[in-house]
Structure 1
Amino acid sequence: MKDTHMERLFTYLNETALYLEENWTVTYLEGLAEAGENLFRQEICQPLEDKQKRILEEKLASVSKVEYEVEDIRKAFQLTVLKGMKGAVQPHHSMTPDAVALFLSYLVNKVLGKREETATILDLAVGSGNLISALLNHATVPLHARGFEVDETLLKLAFVSANLQQHELELFHQDSVEPLAFPEVDLVVTDLPVGFYPKDDVAANYLLKADEGHSYLHHLMIEQAIEKTKDSGFLLFVVPNFLFESDQAKQLHEYVKEHANILGLLQLPKTMFQSEQFGKSIFMLQKKGDGVRQPKQALLAELPSFSKKEALADMIQQMNKWFDQELGI
């Protein structure tokens, strides 16, 4: 097999993470972040014995002189993070599949159009940074990105990966449902974590709070995202297919309709999910504002398998036509 730059980088990250997991008190994912930090700084940053440092220096030397494409870096990180997540038990440790991240890149470029000034983009659950990196790598307009992540290990991975890809990405170690102090953005793109939000005192400030018991985290994040988007800005969410079937769905639907135009709901291919109950869709909104066109017909579609190139190209052609007719973009 041809040794590509991406494979070489994967081997380095994986072997260094495994070595640190075995010889230093860290998990595989923490070791992975350290491996990335060493590559970025071109030195061994961990306080290890000389013999251990030499072993890591040899591994680093195998990759340090290579000029990497940003997508090589993103994909090598993605593969090692996926490997590390198999051993992690936290349910929030999951990653946006590559094909979905690339499809979201198409949608981001579509809604941002041909603007020349930098657009601001926000991810409220940045995870290890794979989705935001894909959007930055494939953007056709300049982007300034912000991301929030409550898990420290995932945040460090996003930070190291962004540094290596030389992205302008501001990262915050914070629960994004709590009050956020920064200007509104042009676009929000988030793969929404699903479940209940434990902090009832914080949820109490939201219109979408539950009447009793814990509120739905994904509902609160949709409200936060709409609040943090400029008038006429766009929002793209990866949501569970059951989003509008829960006991609080009516209140969510009314809130969304009051503040935004529903542009579409694109169901992701069933083949991507273990079973139907885990199925997801892309939920597209535009916040209301001056000159915003309400589409006569929302874009509702079941996306073909991403491996079926012709069917996908046909779907994109139909979508381009819809954007042109309904939104004039």
Structure 2
Amino acid sequence: MNFEKIEQAYDLLLENVQTIQNQLGTNIYDAMIEQNAAYVAGQHETDLVVTNNKALKQLDLTKEEWRRAFQFLFIKANQTEPMQYNHQFTPDSIGFILTFLLDQLVSQDSVTVLEIGSGTGNLAQTILNASQKKLDYLGIEIDDLLIDLSASMADVMQAEISFAQGDAVRPQILKESQVIIADLPIGFYPDDQIASRYQVASQTEHTYAHHLLMEQSLKYLEKDGYAILLAPNDLLSSPQSSLLKEWLQEQASIVAMIALPPSLFGQQAMAKSIFVLQKKTNQAPAAFVYPLQSVQEAETIRDFMVNFKKWKQENAI
């Protein structure tokens, strides 16, 4: 990976996005979508944008270099036009851990993946670029802006990925996948009528969206597949947790729980852990439970990987 090229690409992208934003009088995210369309088409009414896009093409960026350049652009955009917390992209360090889990848990070389709440597509691109598997990847996202952003960036990167717009809590016509990925949103789902169809639904208040999406994720999962989910640390002790635990006892097996460093999330209340679920089976392995103290220290990550591989071997996963 060439960091000098990434910096050059970021500078060119930023200049184009700011130029387009000023011309259209729009927000920076809509300007990013317009810039991506101009890059793919190879034309624009502004000579500067065309010239910069030609320079971008000449850099011949890899998919990972593109992803990093876009990530820097999002960081810059977030300084002036912050996205809501649930729309922030998943840290790369977590993305690499999720990729490791996917690669370890699935023995097949080709894997079907559904990401629920794919957001800007950064997590999807992280996993696609880092995985050792050939992934048939679909992201589903409800937000108009985010789906347009993720699709436009995928076009620029020529990434083999599909995105669909939809509310993942509502029934969707989707094929079952070997792996479900989700960085679950924290908060309540507003539609009590839709929520009432779920076993985890609260009878006294709005239901937690992440509870509903956990239950929904298993409906899209193949029999022996895995749901790899980022969910709040207090998942099993928070209000409404009794409803979730009752559903888990009947329908799902917790394969792994990996606690992540709270410092990754800025606010303690937003801290998450990784939960790996399977559909209920009579021969579920003893759960892999691991407190990951750091994602920055190579030795700590290496110890985690060694312990996970040992657990996998002992349980014939």
TM-score band by shorter chain is over 0.9
The residue number in structure 1 matching 2:96 is: 102
Aligned partners of 2:16 and 2:48 also within 8 Å: no
Q: Number of aligned pairs?
A: 315
Aligned pairs for 1:188-227 (under 5 A) are 188-227=180-219
The residue number in structure 2 matching 1:21 is: 21
The residue number in structure 2 matching 1:295 is: 285
Structure-2 change in CA distance of 1:6 and 1:134 (3 Å):
same
Aligned pairs for 1:71-150 (under 5 A) are 71-86=64-79, 87-113=81-107, 115-116=108-109, 118-150=110-142
The residue number in structure 2 matching 1:237 is: 229
The residue number in structure 1 matching 2:179 is: 187
Residue by residue, what CA displacement relative to the aligned partner does 1:308-327 show, whole Å, maximum 9, x if unpaired? Answer: 1112211211111011112x
Structure-2 change in CA distance of 1:39 and 1:89 (3 Å):
closer
Q: Does 1:55 align with 2:45?
A: no
Query: 1 CA distance for matches of 2:263 and 2:205?
Result: 35
The residue number in structure 2 matching 1:47 is: none
* 243, 264, 273: which one aligns with 1:272: 264
Structure 2: which 5+ residue stretches go unaligned? none
Query: 2 CA distance for matches of 1:98 and 1:133?
Result: 10
Aligned partners of 2:255 and 2:277 also within 8 Å: yes
Paired residue secondary structure (2:168): coil
Cα deviation for residue 215 of structure 1 reads: 1.2
Aligned partners of 1:265 and 1:283 also within 8 Å: yes
Residue by residue, what CA displacement relative to the aligned partner does 1:103-129 show, whole Å, maximum 9, x if unpaired? Answer: 11111111112x13x321011100000
Opposite residue 84 of structure 2, the aligned amino acid is Q
Cα deviation for residue 304 of structure 1 reads: 2.7
Structure-2 change in CA distance of 1:203 and 1:3 (3 Å):
closer
The residue number in structure 2 matching 1:37 is: 37
Residue by residue, what CA displacement relative to the aligned partner does 1:254-279 show, whole Å, maximum 9, x if unpaired? Answer: 21232221111111123313243222
Query: 1 CA distance for matches of 2:153 and 2:83?
Result: 22
Structure-2 change in CA distance of 1:3 and 1:221 (3 Å):
closer
Structure 1: which 5+ residue stretches go unaligned? 45-49
Q: Percent identity?
A: 27
The residue number in structure 2 matching 1:319 is: 308
Residue by residue, what CA displacement relative to the aligned partner does 1:48-102 show, whole Å, maximum 9, x if unpaired? Answer: xx5xx11211221221222211110111112212322332353432110011111
Query: 2 CA distance for matches of 1:74 and 1:67?
Result: 13
Aligned partners of 1:271 and 1:305 also within 8 Å: no
Aligned partners of 1:85 and 1:93 also within 8 Å: no
Higher mean C-alpha deviation, range 82-91 or range 238-247? 82-91
Opposite residue 100 of structure 2, the aligned amino acid is Y
Query: 1 CA distance for matches of 2:166 and 2:265?
Result: 29
TM-score under structure 2 length normalisation: 0.94
Paired residue secondary structure (1:282): strand
Aligned partners of 1:232 and 1:288 also within 8 Å: no
Cα deviation for residue 3 of structure 1 reads: 6.4
CA RMSD of aligned residues (A): 1.7
Higher mean C-alpha deviation, range 225-234 or range 299-308? 299-308
Paired residue secondary structure (1:65): helix
